[in-house]
Amino acid sequence: MARKKTSKSSKRRQQVLARREHVLHPGYVFCPPSEAEQALGATRAGELLAQHGGELRKADMQLELLLHEDRFWVVDSAHPDGHAWTLREYMDDWNKDLAADAEQTGEEYDLLPDEQAVIEMLHDWHRSDRISITHDGVIEWRPL
């Protein structure tokens, strides 16, 4: 007769998975507002705190810093080995894809008007766990 799993083994499995996630994505821990202010400035830290519901993770701050570099790396299904983008290139490619979808479906889509909209969109996706930041600073699409 097979033994029934106990809640203890289930809890242990959750701990192992959480540790694995932390190794792959170590920045997903609380970030004190003072640390965000020091790295991003008081105004931008305040904007991010408001966008993220009053609490930042270190990975949120890391994403912000990545997006303000000359280029940032994204790993997704179209680029499994990664692709370097500027904000302008990412926005132009995104808008081009939306326009192609609109042409095929006949539906209208709101194009991204500027680079700030790209930053906000990526932060929203990050907060909803659609993307993550790896330990080496790459934006990675999470599997659905």
Sketch the domain layout of the chain as residue ranges: 7-141
Cα–Cα–Cα angle for 39, 41, 43, rounded to 5 degrees: 145
pLDDT digits (tens, 9 = 90+) for 87-143: 999 999 999 999 999 999 999 889 999 999 999 999 999 999 899 998 889 999 987
pLDDT of 38: 96
Query: How far apart are the C-alpha atoms of 95 and 109, rounded to whole Å?
Result: 9
